Amino acid sequence: MAAHMQIGEVAERTGLSQRTIRYYGEVGLVTPSSRTEGGFRLYTDSDVSKFELIKKMKPLEYSLEEMREVLDVIAELDAEPTASRRAELTSQLIALRGAATTRRDALAAQLAAAESFITQLDERSAQP
């Protein structure tokens, strides 16, 4: 049986706020693996991994639905599907990777523009 941790420990490990962790549970992205008799949320290392993956999708501006799709594909692959289903899921994963690459490239272009702007400001401020 996997060790369980309460929401505070998950927040500390992931850098997410407890509020954000609760929200992701409310919208069905990462629901607690179980609860204590008192109703406290309990999470596993697998849940923490899901939160870490969500954190990586955030800067790429994934919607909740897109995040759910990625998590669902990965969960289904982890569940050892049939060979034909694995092929379908792998195809989906390749498409998801392509979309992530496109988003990353757009962010890289924004970063390059910001660097150019800062350089221009530095050059201006160095002029007598």
- Predicted confidence (pLDDT) per residue in 37-69, tens digit: 898 999 999 999 999 999 999 999 999 999 999
All domains of the chain in start order, with CATH: 5-126 (1.10.1660.10)
The strand order across the sheet containing 34-35 reads 5-6, 41-43, 34-35
* Contact between residue 10 and residue 51 where contact means Cβ atoms under 8 Å apart: yes
Q: What is the mean pLDDT of residues 87-112?
A: 96
Query: How far is the C-alpha of 41 from the C-alpha of 27, rounded, in Å?
Result: 15
pTM: 0.85
